[in-house]
Amino acid sequence: MLDKTLTLLTALLALLLLSIAARWLIDPSGTAQSFGFVLGDGLGRSTQIGDLAAFFSVAGGAALFGLFKRLAPYLYTAAALVGLTAIFRTAAWAAHDAAFASQAIIIEVITFVVFLWAGYLRR
């Protein structure tokens, strides 16, 4: 029962990440606003859309692939991407006067733990 619940939660979180990637490609301006910033112009816009769509695609895709192929390294890769995001957000707050993004950090830490746990069970 616990494994089924963890599998479902992992899949839902991975699909959420993939949906965010798709949103970056479909509605970059609205997605940027939901993340608390304005979509840039020129090279900045290209960087925002390309980098963020790639990040969320790899995190979500690796998690789903690892989950259903029972390959822990892919789940660990997704966990590392999301976990490092929480760490780097905290560093941005501590060192660069960024707002402390507690809600995002909590979601990232939960996602990190879920992906790590799913990987552990699939090793």
pTM: 0.95
pLDDT of res. 29: 97
pLDDT class for 123, splitting at 50, 70, 90?
A: confident
List pLDDT tens digits, range 64-108.
999 999 999 999 999 999 999 999 999 999 999 999 999 999 999
Q: How far apart are CA 10 and CA 112, in angstroms?
A: 10
In the chain, where the domains are located: 2-121
CA distances from 39 to 47, 52, 79 (A): 10, 12, 27
List pLDDT tens digits, range 21-67.
999 999 999 999 999 999 999 999 999 999 999 999 999 999 999 99
Tokens 């979500």 locate to 60
Q: Please list the alpha-helical segments (H only) found in the chain.
A: 2-26, 28-34, 42-69, 72-96, 102-121
